Amino acid sequence: MDLKKYESKINRVTSLDKLNELEVRFLGRNGEINKLLSEIENIPDEQKKTYGQKINQLKSSMYRYIETKKKELQNKKSDVFFDKTLPGKIYPKGSLHIISNAIEEITKIFEKIGFIRVSYPEVDWEYGAFESLNMPSGHPARDDVETSFIESAPHPRFGKMVLTPHTSNGQNREMRRVGAPPIRMINISKCYRPNWDTTHTPMFHQFEGLCVDREITIANLKGTLDYFAEKYFGKGTKTRLRPHHFQFTEPSFEVDISCNVCGGKRMGCKVCKSGWLELGGTGMVHPNVLKEGGIDHKKYSGWAFGCGIERVIMMKYGLDDIRNYYSGDIRFLEQF
Ligand code: DAH
């Protein structure tokens, strides 16, 4: 009951932790003060009032005393010598991953000429990945694209679920979203194919261009590819189209860019061997694909292309192992 007794105990404390302990011991729910209060029932009635008042006074004095002591200890902490003139600590700064940087760069290049960046699902129905692209179920062209299926009940109209093997699944979705041309889409997303070697990882990225409007021709396609090649790979980079086959384009091509290392001269060039490097696939959108997207193929025409992001970075910097992107090796990633 003696405040002095408590005061001297509080006074001797030298750390905040110890002070907190004392606070609990004295003022806590099962603390000494509450114990004293509970003894009130053993006190004769006429003394109860004064007893209660005394305890409450003791409680608030103790409370104030502890608070003062707390401040004192807190201030003491900041008495530790602090040299304001020392230089600050420099923490290592993170940066965007090489793939994210490329996505940004490619997006900007296409946005400048009116393309809209979209990102369509990485998990889609077979319909989006194949049927809508003129590859009906059972068509052998599907076998060319190694595909991972998701175990799920098939949709009555859209088929099974797949990890999209390419960004071309965005074509039908974009046509349906926009409704009527003009369409200028750049779809950038993750894709999946079960391969793992120096030029393939099971997960990779593609960017897919789609342009649909009146009177769109191969000349527009070539002009756009030339523009992209110069912006992304550097001035003077040329493109060429080689006939190829894709189900969703007619005619179809593979696009090459001139090799930056030998400048297309090819003599002894280890990077290209032929003076050209393959960039991706392209062509004029097949009428069936337009029809499936609800677009009148007699009124409108369009072109599309698809390229690998990992691939264009390799071409730009002359890298030879795609797996480095995902190894998490800072020494590799820091270079970009
Ligand atoms: N989807 C093809 C692939 O992953 C690439 C491609 C070829 C996309 C031609 C297109 C295209 O849009 O027109 O191999």
- Please state, in angstroms and rounded to a whole number, the distance separating the CA atoms of residues 246 and 250: 8
Distances (CA, A) of 8 to 1, 2, 3, 22, 67: 13, 11, 9, 12, 15
Q: Where are the extended beta strands (E) located within the chain?
A: 116-118, 123-125, 148-155, 159-163, 183-192, 203-213, 239-244, 249-258, 276-285, 301-308
- The atom of ligand 1 lying closest to the CA of 210 is 12
- 8 Å CB contact between 275 and 264: yes
pLDDT of amino acid 78: 66
- Please state, in angstroms and rounded to a whole number, the distance separating the CA atoms of residues 88 and 254: 54
Query: pLDDT-based confidence at 158, cuts 50/70/90?
Result: very high
**More confidently predicted of 189 and 152:** 189
Cα-trace Rg, the chain: 36
Atom 12, ligand 1: which residue's CA is nearest? Answer: 305
Count of Cβ atoms closer than 10 Å to residue 82 Cβ: 7
- Using the mean position of ligand 1's atoms as its centre, give its distance from the Cα of residue 257 in Å: 16
pLDDT of amino acid 219: 98
* Pocket test residue of 282, 285, 309 for ligand 1, highest count of atoms within 8 A of CB: 282
Query: pLDDT-based confidence at 77, cuts 50/70/90?
Result: low
- Using the mean position of ligand 1's atoms as its centre, give its distance from the Cα of residue 194 in Å: 18
Q: 70-79, 119-128, 151-160 — which is least confidently predicted?
A: 70-79
Q: What is the DSSP letter of 202?
A: S
pLDDT of amino acid 5: 82
> DSSP of 298-325, one letter per residue?
TT-EEEEEEEEHHHHHHHHHT---GGGG
Query: pLDDT-based confidence at 79, cuts 50/70/90?
Result: low
When pLDDT is averaged across residues 276-281 and rounded to a whole number, the result is 94
Atom 13, ligand 1: which residue's CA is nearest? Answer: 282
Ligand 1 first shell, C-beta below 6 A: 166, 168, 208, 246, 248-249, 280-283, 304-306
* Pocket test residue of 168, 174, 245, 312 for ligand 1, highest count of atoms within 8 A of CB: 168
Query: pLDDT-based confidence at 1, cuts 50/70/90?
Result: low
- Please state, in angstroms and rounded to a whole number, the distance separating the CA atoms of residues 333 and 336: 6
Does 124 have pLDDT greater than 90?
yes
